[in-house]
Amino acid sequence: MSEHTKAIEFAKELDLADPLNSYRDRFHIPKDSSGNELIYFCGNSLGLQPKTTKSYIDQELHDWANLGVEGHFEATNPWMPYHEYLTEAMAKIVGAKKNEVVVMNTLTTNLHLMMVSFYRPTPTRYKILIEGDAFPSDDYAVSSQLINNNIDPNEGLIKWTAREGEDLPRLEDLEAILKDQGHEIALIMIGAVNYYTGQFFNLKKITELGHQFGCKVGFDCAHGAGNVPLDLHDSGADFAVWCSYKYLNSGPGSLAGCFVHERHANDKTLKRFAGWWGHNKNTRFNMRHGFDPIPGAEGWQLSNPPILSMAAIKASLDIFNEAGIHNITKKSKKLSGYLQSLITNMHNDRISIITPKDEIRRGCQVSIKVSKADKSLHDKLTEAGVITDWREPDVIRAAPVALYNTFEEVFEMVERLKFVLN
Ligand X SMILES: *Cc1c(COP(=O)(O)O)cnc(C)c1O
**According to the annotation, is 318 in a ligand binding site?**
no
**According to the annotation, is 108 in a ligand binding site?**
yes
Binding mask 201-230 for ligand X (x = CB under 6 A): -------------------x-xx-------
Q: Which of residues 292-351 bind ligand X (CB under 6 A)?
A: none
Q: How far is residue 255's CA from residue 302's CA, in Å, rounded to a whole number?
A: 13
Q: How far is the CB of 137 from ligand X (least distance, A)?
A: 4
The residue range among 24-32, 115-123, 132-140, 231-239 that interacts with ligand X, by the rule CB under 6 A, is 132-140
**According to the annotation, is 77 in a ligand binding site?**
no
**Position 108 contacts ligand X (CB under 6 A):** yes
**Position 395 contacts ligand X (CB under 6 A):** no
**According to the annotation, is 63 in a ligand binding site?**
no
Strand order in the sheet with 101-104: 101-104, 256-260, 239-243, 216-220, 185-191, 127-131, 157-160
| Alpha-carbon torsion, ordered 338, 341, 343, 344, to 10 deg | 170
Q: How far is residue 352's CA from residue 83's CA, in Å, rounded to a whole number?
A: 43
Q: How far is the CB of 391 from ligand X (least distance, A)?
A: 12
The answer to whether the CB of 188 falls within 8 A of the CB of 219 is no
Q: How far is the CB of 243 from ligand X (least distance, A)?
A: 4
Q: Can the peptide bond before residue 393 be classed as cis, meaning omega within 30 degrees of 0? A: yes
Helix (H, G, I), strand (E, B) or coil at 147: helix
Q: Which of 60, 63, 133, 138 binds ligand X (CB under 6 A)?
A: 138
The residue range among 50-58, 134-142, 317-325, 393-401 that interacts with ligand X, by the rule CB under 6 A, is 134-142
Hey, CA dihedral for 147, 153, 156, 159, is it positive or negative? positive
Q: Which of residues 232-261 bind ligand X (CB under 6 A)?
A: 243
The residue range among 26-34, 131-139, 177-185, 281-289 that interacts with ligand X, by the rule CB under 6 A, is 131-139
Q: How far is residue 153's CA from residue 251's CA, in Å, rounded to a whole number?
A: 34
**Position 195 contacts ligand X (CB under 6 A):** yes
Q: How far is residue 252's CA from residue 247's CA, in Å, rounded to a whole number?
A: 12
The answer to whether the CB of 246 falls within 8 A of the CB of 46 is yes
**According to the annotation, is 135 in a ligand binding site?**
yes
Over its C-alpha atoms, the chain yields an Rg (Å, rounded) of 22
**Position 133 contacts ligand X (CB under 6 A):** no
**According to the annotation, is 400 in a ligand binding site?**
no
Residues that constitute the known binding site for pyridoxal 5'-phosphate? 107-108, 135-138, 220, 223, 245, 276, 304
Q: Contact positions toward ligand X, by CB under 6 A?
A: 106-108, 135, 137-138, 191, 195, 220, 222-223, 243
Residues that constitute the known binding site? 107-108, 135-138, 220, 223, 245, 276, 304
